[in-house]
């Protein structure tokens, strides 16, 4: 039977953590459907595969959102121009930062979502759409603070820097430049818009995927790699158009120009109108349709492999 509280049952004892955040995480992960380590590792591995596979879409989206007037507005033309000018490898500028960040954020996202979900399911083990959105929103907030903001800041700054004569020689050098010039706080530039965007994205993505999965059960649709990929892709499509304005503002704030959040919104509205908030949505759609399918399908497969292995080791 599902519990609806964050404290452990009275007949079980957990070590009394001193830190309130640790207490919250321990309470969430207690009695999770997947062991916490399985959720964390499977999510991280799935995130790494997804990020490396779909990065050129992310590169084009970010370049378009940064407002480079000299660059083509058509994302396909932009990609062709970059390859012709700087070679195929240029499409992966900032990729290492995003792969590391995506592994961290996907691990945190699935860990938190699985844990919160198991606190909100009903007696039949089903999660309502509202509770699915809530679990996704909380998971998104955690991943933004722990992983997304600093890695997105580095990735965006590197892509922005690559528009002209490059100052940064790579992800490590770019990170060193940011920290030496602005301190560690420079890595958290855009924390608020990133957290808003990530919470909204995770709420819509995880919530819609959960709803599709539960609906599939009602119609006896088999859960396999193909159906999981399709449900994840559809969840990615919904996510793009529901959350694109948050992503566009976040990218503007994290560029080398570094406008504030309100300034970025005002400039975007003045220069491009309301439609400007959805700039880059085509490339983000291409990425999230693929990444939604890849990350959910890969997560389910990795979890299925890791769960028995880790369980057997813990028992031995």
Residue 137 or 148, more confident: 137
Name residue, tokens 């919904």.
Answer: 238
Give me the mean pLDDT over the 22-30 stretch: 47
Residue 178, pLDDT above cutoff 60: yes
Q: At 47, is the pLDDT very low, low, confident or very high (cuts 50, 70, 90)? A: very high
What are 257-275's pLDDT values in tens digits? 656 788 888 888 898 888 8
Asked if 3 and 9 count as a contact pair (C-beta separation under 8 A), the reply is yes
Give me the mean pLDDT over the 212-223 stretch: 90
Query: What pLDDT does residue 257 have?
Result: 61
Domain coordinates in residue numbering, the chain: 31-315
Fold of 31-315: Mitochondrial carrier fold (1.50.40)
What are 99-130's pLDDT values in tens digits? 887 898 899 999 999 999 888 988 888 889 99
Q: At 134, is the pLDDT very low, low, confident or very high (cuts 50, 70, 90)? A: very high
Name residue, tokens 């990133």.
Answer: 194
* CA distances in angstroms from 33 to 8, 49, 90, 241, listed in the order given: 15, 23, 42, 31
Residue 211, pLDDT above cutoff 70: yes
Range with the largest mean pLDDT of 14-23, 188-197, 227-236: 227-236
Q: Taking the complete model, does pTM exceed 0.75, yes or no?
A: no
Give me the mean pLDDT over the 241-255 stretch: 83
């Amino acid at each position: 039977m599902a519990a609806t509280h964050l404290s452990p049952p009275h007949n079980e004892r957990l070590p009394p953590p001193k830190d309130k955040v640790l207490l919250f995480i321990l309470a969430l992960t207690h009695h999770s459907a997947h062991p916490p380590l399985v959720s964390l590792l499977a999510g991280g591995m799935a995130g790494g595969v997804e990020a490396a596979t779909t990065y050129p879409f992310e590169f084009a989206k970010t370049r378009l959102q940064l407002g480079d007037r000299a660059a083509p507005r058509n994302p396909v033309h932009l990609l062709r121009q970059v390859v012709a000018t700087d070679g195929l490898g240029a499409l992966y500028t900032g990729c290492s930062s995003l792969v590391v960040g995506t592994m961290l954020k996907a691990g945190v996202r699935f860990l938190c979502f699985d844990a919160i979900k198991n606190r909100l399911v009903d007696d039949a083990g089903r999660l309502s759409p509202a509770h699915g959105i809530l679990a996704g929103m909380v998971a998104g907030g955690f991943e933004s603070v722990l992983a997304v903001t600093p890695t997105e800041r580095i990735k965006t700054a590197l892509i922005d820097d690559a528009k002209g004569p490059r100052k940064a020689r790579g992800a490590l050098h770019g990170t060193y430049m940011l920290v030496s010039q602005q301190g560690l706080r420079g890595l958290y530039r855009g924390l608020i818009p990133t957290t808003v965007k990530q919470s909204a994205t995770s709420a819509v993505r995880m919530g819609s995927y959960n709803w599709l999965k539960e609906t599939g059960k009602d119609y006896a649709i088999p859960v396999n790699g193909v159906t999981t990929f399709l449900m994840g892709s559809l969840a990615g499509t919904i996510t793009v158009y529901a959350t694109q304005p948050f992503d566009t503002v976040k990218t503007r704030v994290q560029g080398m120009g570094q406008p504030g959040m309100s300034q970025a919104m005002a400039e975007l509205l003045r220069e491009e109108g309301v439609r400007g908030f959805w700039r880059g949505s085509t490339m983000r759609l291409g990425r999230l349709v693929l990444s939604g399918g890849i990350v959910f399908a890969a997560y389910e497969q990795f979890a299925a492999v890791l769960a028995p292995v880790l369980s057997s080791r813990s028992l031995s």
